[in-house]
Structure 1
Amino acid sequence: MVTNLQAYQDYLQKEKNYSPLTLRAYLDDILSFQTYLEDNHHKIPLEEIAYGQVRSWIVVLVESGIANKSINRKISSLKSYYRFLLKVKQIEFNPLAKHKSLKVPKKVQIPFSEKELNSVLEMGFMASDFESIRNKLIVELFYTTGIRRAELIHLKTTNVDRYNKTLKVLGKRNKERIIPLLNCTIDLIDLYYLRREELEIIQNDEVLILSKKGKILSETFVYRLINSYFSTVSEKVKKSPHVLRHTFATHLLNNGADLNSVKELLGHASLSSTQIYTHSSLSELQKVYKEAHPRNK
């Protein structure tokens, strides 16, 4: 007999096209709540809970020091599960229908400056060996396309269209988008291909960016690579692939790109997701405003 959780897992995987990582996160959150019910509420089934049990779980999570953002993610997973149960008529009402998310302080991410980017792209890449060229290409792709870390890692050689100068990216929920490539990025890809052919073994031939052993890169490796390079030129607390994605969006907005275009390039489902990047552009906007407005003479 298929359990409700198994049916939900199939739903996320086959109908919603969630990635294995996202799927695991959703299920872990639900199982965590189930364990709480077993330990504190006489093993009450997930299908029979009321909002009171959820609220008491939230209290436990808060008292254990878990951040509100993480708690909201867990509750979001539960909400999704109960919406599914309602849809398949396993429950008559959603116990979280009126739940309001915990307040999360807004953190303004600080992007890298153009000077910091240029410093990284000009330093440490003088060598023309495979790893040096590959590392420069990784930085270049993050900064000129705004792709996510997982998207970069899973790029295929067939995703690069040299004729049209575009890159096809498979984003969240298997949504494809096409991103323009700059001439400098195309030139670097060409050089990378030359060095790639010199590898003794290529175990993942269809993958674009490879390790020196010819394998697909790990997320940890990519994070450490970006952190290592930018630690030499920046004192910012966070130095990650996501900050490069943030930098891509911010620099485009600072130089006149409209929000909708940036939304499409980033692969955001809604404009609200892109609007967080406008906060970083505010200082630039204030500078231009002060310099241009007649009343500020």
Structure 2
Amino acid sequence: MIVQNPHIQLFVNYLRFEKRYSPHTVTAYATDLEQLYAFLASQFDSPAITAVTSGMIRSWMAELKGDNQTAKSINRKISALKSYFKFLQKQGLVTQSPLTTIVTPKVNKRLPAFVQQQEMETLFNADRFEDSWKGRTDRLVLLLFYHTGMRVSELVNLKQEQLDAHYSQLKVLGKGNKERIIPVSAALVKELQQYMADKPGKLPGVTQLFVNARGKPLYARYVYSVVQAKLSEITTLQKKSPHVLRHTFATHLMNNGADLNAVKELLGHASLAATQVYTHNTIEKLKEVFRKAHPKA
């Protein structure tokens, strides 16, 4: 992507080519930075980057809060700014970051939304998917999300050669270009092999595992729409997205006794703290069992 501000463009190139961030993440960072620069232009007459102060940043945060931006959204923008100014310091373009004294808003922790196990079993009934290449693809996409917990970007970019049929596993390229191994069932491996053998068109240069009826790779927006449509058939959850299936994968593992560190590795989390949120769902399930089963509950 090309942006007008040379400093932002320099940072964008760094995120793309050195950090190997996904296009979605790079766009989000660039958008946040452009919003800050637009605010600085309107309120402070476009100060030089070396003249940006913590007070200016706080004023921007106040405006964001006034626009009903959530604490989570504001924190994400502040995180982008911290990375940006840290990069500018390394480049010698600023001597210090105005973010050092910025305190981010407190975010109320919410338990990850997930689909119940029985509802997931209902989802994969054969009659829920049309008898066509589209139906076959949609079913396998949903199945892979639930069996692996992978992210949207990981799924749409999944290559055929990343399936290791001999060892029943997938090599997934995650955030920061980090590779992880996810085991899959023999039955799913067989379905994926047959799917690849039957792929229509087989356009030259297309190595993605999932393709549409014309042999072209799937794109993220299509995957989102399929997941939303299918989850709407089986659950009343307000949020229906691929990430909900990622939460479902992790929660079902934890509820069935999986080790927290193992779930961390399967999800590709950088730290255990990100995975620990799923223990809360496990505790809630235990409380429910206690309330139903214990005579004194």
- Using the size of structure 2 for normalisation, the TM-score is 0.91
- 2:85 counterpart SS class: helix
- Structure 1 residue runs without a partner (length 5+): none
What's the C-alpha RMSD, in Å, of the aligned pairs?
2.3
* Aligned: 1:262 with 2:253: no
Q: CA deviation at 1:171?
A: 0.6
State the match for 1:221 in structure 2: 222
- 2:171 counterpart SS class: strand
- 2:58 counterpart SS class: helix
Paired residues of 1:130 and 1:192 also in contact (CA < 8 A): no
2:176 to 173, 178, 196: 173
- 1:230 counterpart SS class: helix
State the match for 1:129 in structure 2: 132
The one-character-per-residue Cα deviations of 1:210-260 (angstroms, maximum 9, x if unpaired) are 011111112111111111112112111112111111000000001110110
State the match for 2:254 in structure 1: 253
Distance 1:220 1:78, change over 3 A: same
Alpha-carbon separation, structure 2, partners of 1:290 and 1:32: 49
The one-character-per-residue Cα deviations of 1:187-217 (angstroms, maximum 9, x if unpaired) are 2213323432xx2453653110001111111
Distance 1:124 1:240, change over 3 A: farther
Which amino acid is 1:223 matched to?
Answer: Y
Paired residues of 1:211 and 1:217 also in contact (CA < 8 A): yes
Paired residues of 1:153 and 1:216 also in contact (CA < 8 A): yes
Q: Please show how residues 183-198 of structure 1 align to structure 2 within 5 Å.
A: 183-196=186-199
* Aligned: 1:235 with 2:261: no
The one-character-per-residue Cα deviations of 1:69-96 (angstroms, maximum 9, x if unpaired) are 2111111111111112222333222211
Alpha-carbon separation, structure 2, partners of 1:87 and 1:127: 54
Alpha-carbon separation, structure 2, partners of 1:126 and 1:60: 47
Which amino acid is 2:70 matched to?
Answer: A
- Structure 2 residue runs without a partner (length 5+): none
State the match for 2:48 in structure 1: 45
State the match for 1:206 in structure 2: 207
Q: CA deviation at 1:129?
A: 3.3
Distance 1:114 1:45, change over 3 A: same
Alpha-carbon separation, structure 1, partners of 2:113 and 2:22: 29
Q: Please show how residues 73-84 of structure 1 align to structure 2 within 5 Å.
A: 73-84=76-87
Paired residues of 2:172 and 2:181 also in contact (CA < 8 A): yes
Distance 1:108 1:203, change over 3 A: farther
Q: CA deviation at 1:122?
A: 1.2
Q: CA deviation at 1:268?
A: 0.4
Q: CA deviation at 1:109?
A: 2.5
Count residues in correspondence.
Answer: 293
Q: CA deviation at 1:68?
A: 1.9
State the match for 2:185 in structure 1: 182
State the match for 1:54 in structure 2: 57
Paired residues of 2:157 and 2:208 also in contact (CA < 8 A): yes
Which amino acid is 1:180 matched to?
Answer: P
Which amino acid is 2:262 matched to?
Answer: S
Q: CA deviation at 1:283?
A: 2.0
Paired residues of 1:169 and 1:179 also in contact (CA < 8 A): yes
Alpha-carbon separation, structure 1, partners of 2:66 and 2:41: 19
Which amino acid is 1:232 matched to?
Answer: E
Alpha-carbon separation, structure 2, partners of 1:201 and 1:186: 20
State the match for 1:284 in structure 2: 285
Alpha-carbon separation, structure 2, partners of 1:163 and 1:55: 55
- 1:242 counterpart SS class: helix
Alpha-carbon separation, structure 2, partners of 1:236 and 1:26: 29
* Aligned: 1:162 with 2:155: no
Paired residues of 2:254 and 2:282 also in contact (CA < 8 A): yes
